[in-house]
Amino acid sequence: MEYLKKAAKTAEAHSSNIRCQVEKILADIEKRRENAVIELAKKFDNWEGEFILSEEKKQALIAKVPETVKSDIRYAHEQVSGFARVQRESIKEFETIPIEGVRLGQRIIPMDVAGCYIPGGRFAHACSAIMSVGTAKAAGVETVIACSPPRGDSIAPAVVYALDVAGADIILEIGGIQAIATMAFGLFTGKPANILAGPGNAYVAEAKAILAGSGLCAIDVFAGPTESAVIADDTADSMTIAVDLVSQAEHGYDSPVWLFTDSRQLGEQVLKIMPQVIEDLPDPEVAAASWRDYGEIILCDDWPEMAAVSDQYAAEHIQVMTKDNQWWCDHLTAYGSLFLGEYCTVAQGDKCSGTNHILPTRKAGYYSGGLNVHKFLKICTFQEIEKQACQEISARASRLSRVEGMEGHARACDWRLKKFFPDQEWDFTVYSQKDYS
């Protein structure tokens, strides 16, 4: 393969420094709890008001949202929650009897509390509210706590309306690392989250990863700065590719976009027009920096090499524009979400097509898909063993336990053999035969 354009920076370059900063902040919050959060909110968001959004203020903010916007938000919610409900129905509770006397089963239990983070800052991410909160509610989560950073004197009204439509039970006006810690520790609400979900910047993503690594709670995915790739051959339109790459580069200064192609002419044409498409934005600064520092165009020999490169990058989003889009659906194995054909663009999935836009980044697509309703569910098993089945299973489990050197396990099975089948001879002399009455 050949780089027609190579990134000047990598996401890994700053990750260790970010992790160190986040660890210090989380440790301070764990120690000083609400007091630390109050100080951080003042420092980073200039916020000194109440954190829990009152019903009165919520309704006042909702009243500011135009009806056309409300209609579009409801449409997005119907699409996303509808897809999530179908996902929920795809996994079932069941019971099975593998041998006579043994009953095994699976139960699907929703999480008790989900903490959903909705980014703020430059954009009012109303659709992110739907993606996390709506999906948690479709899963049956009883209590969903949502955090979003205030923009001035409140969360953006459209975000508040989206959270209300999606079914958030508690809304907190707070952002950043302090918001993630607030949900994890149950600060201000008394309800620690079983799972943290939602996208965010590198600091938010790192906070989620650290808390999950500590065993305090689960997380949805490592959803850091957005990354997008386009796979295209000589049948693709260079302007469509450039427009789509720019649309994702505007997410942030550190949002990489990549083009994988087997057409030198296409790659060079996209390289030529990218600056023009970026400059045409009302505010081109962020996209320009993202493309300059993190953008890449990679020229490959053929489709198998393009597929191999794509799987190596494991991009959050992959758009495919080739003469046979289904080939890629059949052969790609590492990505967050796949967009097939020129009629598709990542922006559709980001907003309202129905699939979830909270997706793995930083190559987490190697081992994880994106946020889905199953992330909010616990798949729990049970077993019931009748007397006759207990005889065979206990005998086998006892022997297997000793193969592994686990005498205590073996004796738990031996005890049942001796207790329930006293008239039979067993090939053991063990602790469980002693009389402790």
296 domain residue, yes or no: yes
pLDDT in tens, 205-225: 999 999 999 999 999 988 778
Task: Please give the pLDDT value at position 425.
Answer: 84
Name every residue whose Cβ is closer than 8 Å to that of residue 217 and which is 6 or more positions away in sequence: 115, 184, 192, 193, 194, 195, 196, 211
236 domain residue, yes or no: yes
Do 406 and 307 belong together in one domain?
A: no
pLDDT grade, residue 431 (50/70/90)?
very low
Task: Please give the pLDDT value at position 201.
Answer: 86
| Low-confidence winner among 111-120, 143-152, 341-350, 359-368 (lowest mean pLDDT) | 359-368
Do 234 and 214 belong together in one domain?
A: no
Do 271 and 363 belong together in one domain?
A: yes
Do 172 and 240 belong together in one domain?
A: no
Task: Please give the pLDDT value at position 124.
Answer: 86
Catalytic residue among 227, 250, 296, 316: 316
Host domain of residue 138: 33-220+374-379
The answer on pLDDT for 186 being more than 80 is yes
How many domains would you assign to the chain?
A: 3
Residue 317 is a catalytic residue = yes
**0.85 cut: is pTM over it?**
yes
The answer on pLDDT for 133 being more than 90 is yes
Do 297 and 421 belong together in one domain?
A: no
Do 303 and 392 belong together in one domain?
A: no
The answer on pLDDT for 39 being more than 70 is yes
54 domain residue, yes or no: yes
Beta carbons of 126 and 161 less than 8 angstroms apart? yes
CATH number of domain containing 58:
3.40.50.1980
Do 145 and 178 belong together in one domain?
A: yes
Do 216 and 229 belong together in one domain?
A: no
pLDDT grade, residue 436 (50/70/90)?
very low
Do 136 and 237 belong together in one domain?
A: no
pLDDT in tens, 352-372: 999 999 999 989 899 999 999
184 domain residue, yes or no: yes
Do 148 and 279 belong together in one domain?
A: no
The answer on pLDDT for 64 being more than 80 is yes
Do 342 and 401 belong together in one domain?
A: no
Q: Could you count the other beta carbons within 10 Å of the beta carbon of residue 409?
A: 15
The answer on pLDDT for 437 being more than 70 is no
16 domain residue, yes or no: no
pLDDT in tens, 231-276: 999 999 999 999 999 999 999 999 999 999 999 999 999 999 999 9
Catalytic residue among 227, 317, 342, 357: 317
pLDDT grade, residue 432 (50/70/90)?
very low
Task: Please give the pLDDT value at position 428.
Answer: 63
28 domain residue, yes or no: no
Mean pLDDT computed over every residue of the chain: 94
Among the candidates 335, 369, 403, a domain finishes at 369
Residue 296 is a catalytic residue = no
19 domain residue, yes or no: no
Do 235 and 143 belong together in one domain?
A: no
pLDDT in tens, 292-332: 999 999 999 999 999 999 999 999 999 999 999 999 999 99
pLDDT in tens, 88-106: 999 999 999 999 999 999 9
22 domain residue, yes or no: no
